[in-house]
Homo-oligomer: A and B are copies of this chain.
């Protein structure tokens, strides 16, 4: 049983071809730091001669999200409504988006995380998720 199947079944999802394939695509996009849209995935599949219904892609992505295997982001006001997905591998991280180039940088800061937990606790809550996007610009521009 390969890695994708293991991840899926461990997360409580039946390992189907579609899920494995999308999981793989997101995995292969990781090193380039690529956040893929449903459309990107559709296009990449077609490019390699495969065919998958766009509705299935959305469904699979939502399933993977619900299972905690991928994260969904909405970075830009102008592309709002378009979701970008990335594999939720390992450590949670946050994003910095350059308003000029659109480049997305990832970072991770335990101090901010701890602080968030503390604030939630102070209000009687526990954190189940967080989303921090810092919009930035090249300094001195």
Chain A residues with a Cβ under 8 A of chain B: 65, 72, 74, 77, 80-81, 83, 96, 98-99, 105, 107, 109, 111-112, 115-116, 119-121, 123-141
Contact = CB atoms under 8 A, between A and B. Distances in A.
A107 B134 contact: no
Copies of this chain in its oligomeric complex: 2
A120 B133 contact: no
Nearest to A136: B125
A27 to B, nearest CB: 22
Contacts of A115: 109, 111-112, 115
20 contacts: A81-B81, A96-B119, A96-B123, A99-B129, A111-B111, A116-B132, A116-B134, A119-B134, A120-B134, A120-B136, A121-B139, A123-B136, A125-B138, A126-B139, A126-B140, A127-B134, A128-B136, A130-B132, A131-B132, A131-B133
A65 B99 CA distance: 15
Contact of A112 (B116, B127, B131): B116
Nearest to A98: B125
A109 B116 CA distance: 9
A107 B128 contact: no
A18 to B, nearest CB: 21
A137 B125 contact: yes
